[in-house]
């Protein structure tokens, strides 16, 4: 491998689904590597034994692959199309930190040998007490090796098997580094302390592992969230102590919710919790039944009682499903389930902190682009410094626009795939009407979930003839008002419907138009009553499409029902 090779990495900890913030970090790392002709690698930071899980790892890999953020090196994943991602062509793996213990131990030993690190024996409780005390005295708690520290004795205690952590001796001087996005960043010596590099359980801390791995894997550019900015001096000091190369650093602004709060999975718990409480208050028995075994009663109580607690992903998901909750999208999977297209999410995420700085031919800013464009044009110089809010409305607008531009067949196949995964009961009921459905519903859909949404533009197609509700206002306005009123027009048009052949959009339109002309009425006088009778509301796709989608028999049944119930 050449020294000049550009290598970027995304290094998530497998503690849950991929968050959109993490997805953006991964995306920018990927784009940076692609634009510079480098390699993008994926590493799993699973040094936290208590919180990491294999399930979460798999979920993250799948989320990334779905977005099209493909890694050149890292854990392997076989795609639906048979291709395989990851692998270890340069021989720098393994890519799970839990499997790289030897390297960390060697680094820690090297530091220990040169008195650049030392064993420390305080327990977590003792440190907590010290921190509390410092806080009460309104001063900062900094761990520094005492002046009278007895190195030999400490080493001997550690060698004797006494439980301890290893702390790195932070240089007693100010540190600075050049950030590619923020510029020069400096930290005063008083801010820095002797941080832990090896935990009591023998695992390295994040700081040690990330530095050792980045060096071993030849990572040239570290692009990560701004929450890591304060960690950088630690990493720089460690690199100097270990004689490592210095990577290029760049820290990305944070992503927020529309209301300015930090985007967090807690938002979902919060929304779910208030929905459950509401349900409990209005009809407890019904809610309990709905929740069923999605969440066991004990956990549910605890979760309801503690505003800060979170339900495990699987339980929250089950709850969402059981109650048909509309939770705020936080994770990539939420948007996939919500019917967003991966390239649209990528486009939108890219705009959160990056902009092409280019105009379209009509003078508008370039902001709609494909992932390939990003891979080619991405530059660190064009990454912004301010935090960005996640505007779901704009994302939805992008998605709708993209869906509308799809040809009907393509839309249909994407919608089919979405149904297979998220709404198996809804798909496959259309048969020969599928193409007509796509043509009518596509331009009215913001997401792939809209066609099957009970309140969506396609709901009338799936409605049961005898069960859907009639909109009161529409009934009053279009069926009961006027002389003759809509009901009378409907009754008269019923004959036309019964005799129409073929029963297709254009013949229906023509028949309705002829009917209106023959009676000397406006098209609206027959179209609107028909809409209300057939869909329950006054808004639907074109009249011909609407009736054809419902089908002759159902249209007749619905007209009859309407005549009966709305008179």
According to DSSP, residue 246 is labeled P
Give the C-alpha separation, 34 to 45, whole Å.
Answer: 23
Q: Which is nearer to RNA, 187 or 369 (CB)?
A: 187
Q: Collapse the DSSP code of 262 into the 3-class scheme (helix H, G, I; strand E, B; otherwise coil) and give the result.
A: strand
Instruction: Report 27-66 residues binding RNA (CB under 7 A).
Output: 45, 47-48, 51
Give the interface segment with RNA, choosing from 136-144, 266-274, 303-311, 338-346 (CB under 7 A).
136-144
* Maximum alpha-carbon separation in the chain: 107
Task: Out of 180, 315, 387, 507, name the contact with RNA by CB under 7 A.
Answer: 387
Place of tokens 């073929």: 502
Please name the residues in contact with 411: beta carbons below 8 A apart, sequence gap of 6 or more.
403, 438, 442
Q: Of the candidates 404, 417, 498, 567, which one interacts with RNA according to CB under 7 A? A: 404
Counting contacts by CB under 7 A, is residue 363 touching RNA? yes
What is the rounded distance in angstroms from the CA atom of residue 26 to the CA atom of residue 384? 17
Q: How far is the CB of 454 from RNA (least distance, A)?
A: 16
Give the shortest CB-283-to-RNA separation in angstroms: 32
One symbol per residue from 207 to 246: x for binding RNA (CB under 7 A), - otherwise; what is it?
x------------------xxxxxx---------------
The verdict on 386 binding RNA (CB under 7 A) reads yes
The answer to whether residue 180 forms part of the interface with RNA (CB under 7 A) is no
| 355 touches RNA by CB under 7 A | yes
CB nearer RNA, residue 201 or residue 296: 201
Question: What six digits make up the tokens of 507?
Answer: 């013949």
Among 201, 321, 495, 565, binds RNA (CB under 7 A): 201
Residue in the block written with tokens 């027009």: 489
Quick one: 257 or 290, whose CB is closer to RNA?
Answer: 257
Stretch that binds RNA, among 251-259, 336-344, 428-436, 547-555 (CB under 7 A): 251-259
DSSP 536: S
Piece in contact with RNA (CB under 7 A), picked from 59-67, 198-206, 239-247, 370-378: 198-206
Alpha carbon 141 to its chain centroid, in Å, reads 36
Q: How many CB atoms lie within 10 A of CB 223?
A: 26
Structural tokens at position 399:
């998605």
Report DSSP letters for 256-280, one per residue: E-TTSSBP-THHHHHHHHHHHHHHH
Enumerate residues 274-333 that contact RNA by CB under 7 A. Answer: none
According to CB under 7 A, which residues from 528 to 557 bind RNA?
Answer: 528, 531, 538-544
Q: Give residues with Cβ within 8 angstroms of 440, minimum separation 6.
A: 458, 541, 542, 545, 546, 549
Instruction: Please tell me whether residue 346 binds RNA under the rule CB under 7 A.
Output: no
- Stretch touching RNA by CB under 7 A, among 73-81, 109-117, 240-248, 351-359: 351-359
Q: Which stretch in 1-9, 132-140, 144-152, 270-278 sits in contact with RNA by CB under 7 A?
A: 132-140
Compare residues 319 and 352 and give the one whose CB is closer to RNA.
352
Q: How far is the CB of 547 from RNA (least distance, A)?
A: 10
Nearest C-alpha neighbor of 225 from the set 10, 6, 47, 7: 10
- For residue 182 the two structure tokens come to 């923020």
Confirm if 140 and 162 have CB atoms less than 8 A apart. no
> How many CB atoms within 10 Å of residue 459?
19
- State the number of binding residues for RNA (CB under 7 A): 90
**Which secondary-structure segment (H or E) carries 252?**
strand 248-252
522 binds RNA (CB under 7 A): yes
Interacting positions 1-30 with RNA (CB under 7 A): 11-13
Specify whether the CB–CB gap between 237 and 175 falls below 8 A. Answer: yes
């Amino acid at each position: 491998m050449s020294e000049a090779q550009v290598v970027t990495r995304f290094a998530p900890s497998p503690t849950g689904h991929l968050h959109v913030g993490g997805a953006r970090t991964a995306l920018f790392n990927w784009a940076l590597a692609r634009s510079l002709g480098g390699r993008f690698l994926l590493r799993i930071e699973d040094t936290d034994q208590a919180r990491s899980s294999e399930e979460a790892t798999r979920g993250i890999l799948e989320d990334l692959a779905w977005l099209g953020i493909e890694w050149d090196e890292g854990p392997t994943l076989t795609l639906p199309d048979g291709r395989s991602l990851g692998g270890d062509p340069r021989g720098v793996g393994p890519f799970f930190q839990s499997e790289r213990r030897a390297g960390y131990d060697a680094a820690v030993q090297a530091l220990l040998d040169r008195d650049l690190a030392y064993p420390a024996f305080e327990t977590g409780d003792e440190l907590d007490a010290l921190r509390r005390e410092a806080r009460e005295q309104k001063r900062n708690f900094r761990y520094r090796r005492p002046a009278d520290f007895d190195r030999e004795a400490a080493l001997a205690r550690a060698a004797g098997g006494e439980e301890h952590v290893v702390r790195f001796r932070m240089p007693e001087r100010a540190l600075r580094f050049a950030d590619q996005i923020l510029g020069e960043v400096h930290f005063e010596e008083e801010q820095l302390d002797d941080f832990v590099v090896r935990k009591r359980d023998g695992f390295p801390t994040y700081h040690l592992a990330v530095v050792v791995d980045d060096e071993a894997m030849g990572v040239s550019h570290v692009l990560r969230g701004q929450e890591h900015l304060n960690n950088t001096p630690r990493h720089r000091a460690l690199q100097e102590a270990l004689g490592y190369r210095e990577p290029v650093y760049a820290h990305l602004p944070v992503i927020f919710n529309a209301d300015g709060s930090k985007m967090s999975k807690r938002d979902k718990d919060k929304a779910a919790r208030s929905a459950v409480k509401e349900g409990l208050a209005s009809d407890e028995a019904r809610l309990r039944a709905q929740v069923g075994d999605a969440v066991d009663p004990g956990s549910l109580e605890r979760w309801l009682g503690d505003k800060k607690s979170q339900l495990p992903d699987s339980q929250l998901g089950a709850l969402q499903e059981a109650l048909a909750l509309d939770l705020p999208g936080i994770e990539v999977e939420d948007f996939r389930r919500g019917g967003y297209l991966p390239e649209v999410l990528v486009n939108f995420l890219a705009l959160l902190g990056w902009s092409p700085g280019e105009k379209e031919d009509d003078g508008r800013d370039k902001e709609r682009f494909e992932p390939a464009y990003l891979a080619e044009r991405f530059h660190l110089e064009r990454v912004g410094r301010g935090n960005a809010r996640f505007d779901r409305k704009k994302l939805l607008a992008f998605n709708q626009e993209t869906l509308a531009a799809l040809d009907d067949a393509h839309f249909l196949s994407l919608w089919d795939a979405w149904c297979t995964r998220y709404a198996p009961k809804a798909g496959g009921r259309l048969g020969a009407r599928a193409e007509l459905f796509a043509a009518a519903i596509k331009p009215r859909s913001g997401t792939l979930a809209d066609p099957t949404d009970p309140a969506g533009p396609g709901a009338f197609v799936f409605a049961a003839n005898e069960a859907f509700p009639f909109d009161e206002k529409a009934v009053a306005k279009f069926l009961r008002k006027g002389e003759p009123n809509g009901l009378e027009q409907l009754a008269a048009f019923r004959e036309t419907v019964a005799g129409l052949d073929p029963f297709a959009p254009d013949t229906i339109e023509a028949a309705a138009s002829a009917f209106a002309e023959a009676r000397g009425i406006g098209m609206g006088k027959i179209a609107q009553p028909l809409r209300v009778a057939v869909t329950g509301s006054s808004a639907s796709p074109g009249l011909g499409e609407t009736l054809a989608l419902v089908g002759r028999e159902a249209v007749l049944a619905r007209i009859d029902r309407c005549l009966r119930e709305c008179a």
